[in-house]
Chains A and B, each alone.
Chain A
């Protein structure tokens, strides 16, 4: 097991797809709660459960992710209030990663993106042992 290193304001976080798989959590349900009506309609047309090969924008690693991710990233996240609209903090952070295709961000960068709450509060929220919605520090996966 990797040694726990306390995250700082400069630690990069992302959504860990491996966490969703390991925990048996349903990423699709989480994604559905972030999707707009258009995306849901398109999703139903494509056929629920369809996946695609998501490519890590930094490492090239591939995860098979529900196609709804792609629809939200390319469509819903373009709406002006997608990031700054009213949403609980963890959901807002999750949306920030959806919008940037899960490119790792520090609490400082997240605070700038979602324009709410201080970097310190964001760090206190996502930097603990308890992991919310798969958001955790980027770690070497191998």
Chain B
């Protein structure tokens, strides 16, 4: 198939480089128009430059010889151009009769190429079906291929970072949230304005958008606020460590770094697993179904259940790590409820479904969690395993969080305790006033002791297999059949170690000592070895 190099994946994924001429071209574009240009538009403009350059090259290449098509006849010493081989030019060295059980009479031409490599043979006088016979090989037909915008859509992942790196390496360009401008064209901005901005946000007790900040620091002076002025302010704010953008995609909201909780910027260690890879094909049907059921942000979206678009409410089951640090997982199920940004955590409001009182929440989409529920979990004494409802409001910056209240009752539930540096479990009665998943619930444990155990396991880097061998007898003793459900294993092990369900299920499936008993239940035989 004849194909220009700028129409191929190979070119854009492997060969494409941003040249100095490309960068100069973009510089002149911004200079002439005095406008911000988005990285995507810059990349598209550079793609167009490369396509145009090849267009010019192609015109001259095609004039060097007869364009190769299988149906054509070629004579010895005739010059032939092969568009599908990057317009390589060859000379026909010999011809011979072709031999094929189906094709009858045709010719084979031996072609010597300019690079002096061995002669290659091609079919000629060939009237049979062949894609190269169907094509008009004229320049006109070579045009009208994928336009730069479509090429960018196809190869964005390869092109965008290279363009970005080339621009970022050049001190003449300045960038904020994907928009580029020239440093020399920035509006004036002096250091003292930072102090005014700091005070304005502090007094507001919440983030301020760029226009409000410009008004507060008196930069507009009554004139219309332009995009370049907004860019100037945001660019300077973004490069000062005191300030922090907390707005969702498409909206810049400036906040003070000192007012943001650490969990908004650094993922709590409790949420970070040591291992995340697993092979769901190794699981039986029960485990595959459970993998889709458990609300864990480290389960691959392909292994979870689809969620209807625009659904107004979802329910998740709280696991220990999220309970411990006051977070919720961002999964395929929950993600549409929270506004995100490509650049920063987003500050929004939780609304308490019981009282209607709002309180701050942080969407940390880079690490797939939402922070801000530690006090709320404590206030309602919600246990690990509690059902948590997440509901939309008319304001996308507000999300209702609720639990399923019941009249307080005493239930028998499993409770974990650290004894002799090991996690043990027993069934105790506890007063509960919420609905919960019976397989996941774990009652009040001594948080400080569990934290210490977690630290020791982190330091000793104990293999998951060893931990499972220690945990299985503890859990199975709570059941007269000596079986334990995979969800319970997941819930319990996450007190000691952050492990996604897929990783646990893989470990269960790999070792003979863990024995599946149908419907997600497992038992343990310490005498069975893998050999």
Contact = CB atoms under 8 A, between A and B. Distances in A.
B377 interface: no
Contact of B1 (A52, A58, A62, A142): A58
Interface string B145-160: 0000000000000000
A108 to B, nearest CB: 13
A94 interface: no
Interface in A59-100: 59-63, 67, 70
Interface of B: 1, 9-10, 13-14, 68-70, 82, 84-86, 88, 90, 98-101, 103, 108, 113, 115, 117, 120-123, 126, 130-132
Contacts of B68: 60
Contacts of B101: 52, 67, 70
Contacts of A48: none
A62 B122 contact: yes
Contact of A62 (B84, B85, B90, B98): B98
A127 to B, nearest CB: 14
Contacts of B117: 142
Contact of A60 (B10, B99, B126): B126
In order of increasing CB-CB distance, the 9 nearest A-B pairs are: A62-B121, A60-B70, A142-B113, A142-B88, A53-B98, A60-B123, A55-B123, A142-B85, A60-B122
Interface of A: 5, 8, 10, 51-55, 57-63, 67, 70, 140-142
A142 B120 contact: yes
Given A59-B85, A142-B113, 18 more contacts: A8-B13, A10-B13, A52-B101, A53-B100, A55-B100, A55-B103, A59-B1, A59-B122, A59-B132, A60-B132, A61-B121, A61-B123, A62-B108, A62-B121, A62-B123, A70-B101, A142-B90, A142-B117
Contacts of A58: 1, 84, 131-132
A58 B132 CA distance: 7
Given A5-B10, A53-B123, A140 B131 contact: no
A80 B117 CA distance: 42
Contacts of B90: 142
A52 B86 contact: no
B82 A55 contact: no
Nearest to A67: B101
B100 A61 contact: no
A142 B99 contact: no
B121 A5 contact: no
A75 B121 CA distance: 27
A142 B132 CA distance: 18
Contacts of A140: 85-86, 88
B84 to A, nearest CB: 6
Contacts of A60: 68-70, 122-123, 126, 130, 132
A53 B108 contact: yes
A10 B155 CA distance: 12
A54 B101 CA distance: 10
Given A55-B130, A140-B85, A141-B85, A10 B9 contact: yes
Contacts of B131: 57-58
Contacts of B126: 55, 60
A142 B81 CA distance: 12
Contacts of B1: 58-59
Contacts of B69: 60
B119 to A, nearest CB: 10
Contacts of B86: 140
A48 to B, nearest CB: 16
A90 B113 CA distance: 33
B455 to A, nearest CB: 36
A107 B482 CA distance: 46
Nearest to B128: A55
Q: Choose among A5, A62, A140 the residue with the greatest number of B CB atoms under 10 Å from its CB.
A: A62
Given A60-B70, A61-B122, A62-B121, A142 B82 contact: yes
Contacts of B84: 58-59
21 contacts: A52-B99, A52-B101, A53-B98, A55-B123, A57-B130, A58-B84, A58-B132, A59-B1, A59-B122, A60-B122, A60-B132, A61-B121, A70-B101, A140-B86, A141-B85, A141-B120, A142-B82, A142-B85, A142-B90, A142-B113, A142-B120
B99 A53 contact: yes
Contacts of A61: 120-123
Contacts of A51: 99
Contacts of A8: 13
Q: Choose among A55, A59, A60, A141 the residue with the greatest number of B CB atoms under 10 Å from its CB.
A: A60
A142 B115 contact: yes
Contacts of B98: 53, 62
Q: Choose among B90, B103, B120 the residue with the greatest number of A CB atoms under 10 Å from its CB.
A: B120
A66 to B, nearest CB: 13
A57 B132 CA distance: 9
Contacts of B122: 59-62
A10 B11 CA distance: 13
B1 to A, nearest CB: 5
Nearest to A8: B13
A5 B115 CA distance: 21
